[in-house]
Amino acid sequence: MPETSTTDRTRTPLLTLITQESMDQDYQHVAEQRAAARATGEPVESDRSGRRGRWVATAVVGVFGLLVTVAAVQTSERSGVTSASRDSLLRQIDQRRDQAAELQKRILLLRELNIGLQDSLANVNDEERTTTSRSDRLAGQAGFGPVSGPGLVITVDDAPDGEAVRDEDLALLVNGLWEAGAEAISINGRRLTTRSGLRNSGAAINLNGPPPLSPPYVVSAIGDTRTLQADLIDTSTGLAFSNTADVLGFPVTMKIDDDLTLPAATLRQPRHAVKGTAEDNRRPDVKENAP
């Protein structure tokens, strides 16, 4: 049999090559058996046996070819599944990339919004501090907030002969201190406010309601200690109080205190005024009675 070159084997299909080589080996095997039988004088097998061997070989080769074909089909199917899975993964990657881009945009918007809110919060905090400071300052000036600082303490008592200090006498002293530049005043620890009034109730003096004040009357005024005492005498009301105290014999002492603390007055709610609207405050129509 002619030998098949390496180049021819490369060009011949695998199944054909296997079939040819199997049949060539079968023929060669049968020829060798016949030659051996002739040499020994044994009977040679019939052609039927040779044909049976060729059929068996052909069947084996066919089965093997079928297995190769099935394997090729399965490989092709798996390749198709792998390709489909790859396309699906690529689509998912694209979707995730789009979602990530949208989230990045949202993060930027939220970051800008957060910066704006922080600026607004800072402005609100500044306004709150300013408002609180102004409120505390106004409360201190109006008498509804505690205050502290240097000032003047004036003590006034009833005369030894029994002449009592009255509300108008203390009013002269308080008005003189206001004119002299006092920033806050209290009498016996009760703070004077814009709504305060000194009133006599019999022999007792009331300030901001009961209980009444009792002598000696300690008047504390926060202000510039360098000028407050001198300016008090320069005011008309301060001078009137000094003259009254001398005439009626009221003992009066003055001293400077560098660390006075005056409490806040108690805010009293209105007893008769009620909250309303402009429509509620409108004057009602007057209707004449019919004759």
Structure tokens at 255: 């001293």
Q: Would you say residue 278 lies in a domain?
A: no
Please tell me the total count of domains within the chain. Answer: 2
Q: Would you say residue 290 lies in a domain?
A: no
Residue 157 and residue 72 share a domain: no
Q: Would you say residue 223 lies in a domain?
A: yes
Q: If pLDDT is split at 50, 70 and 90, which confidence band does 227 have?
A: very high
Q: Would you say residue 105 lies in a domain?
A: no
CATH number of the structural domain spanning residue 222: 3.30.70.1880
**Total-model pTM:** 0.53
Domain that holds residue 226: 147-262
Greatest mean pLDDT among 11-25, 191-205, 250-264 lies in: 250-264
- pLDDT computed for residue 81 by the predictor: 58
Q: What is the DSSP letter of 242?
A: H
- Name the domain boundary from 28, 57, 81: 81
- Name the domain boundary from 81, 98, 129: 81
- Coil, helix or strand for 287? coil
Q: Would you say residue 225 lies in a domain?
A: yes
- pLDDT computed for residue 133 by the predictor: 81
Q: If pLDDT is split at 50, 70 and 90, which confidence band does 35 have?
A: low
149 - beta bridge partners?
A: 260
Residue 161 and residue 72 share a domain: no
Name which of 143, 203, 144 is nearest 169 in CA terms: 203
Q: Would you say residue 141 lies in a domain?
A: no
Rounded Cα distance, 291 and 289, in Å? 6
Q: Would you say residue 173 lies in a domain?
A: yes
Rounded Cα distance, 203 and 199, in Å? 10
Q: Would you say residue 112 lies in a domain?
A: no
Mean of pLDDT values over 201-216: 81
Across 229-258, b (16+ Cβ under 10 Å) vs e yields bebbeebebbebbbebbeeeebebeeeeee
Least confident of 76-90, 160-174, 222-236, 272-286: 272-286
In this structure, the dihedral spanned by the alpha carbons of residues 135, 138, 139 and 140, taken in order and rounded to 10 degrees, is: 130
Structure tokens at 7: 């180049």
- Name the domain boundary from 64, 81, 98: 81
The pairing of strands 184-187 and 217-222 is antiparallel
Structure tokens at 98: 């789009």
Examine the pLDDT at 113 and tell me if it is beyond 80: yes
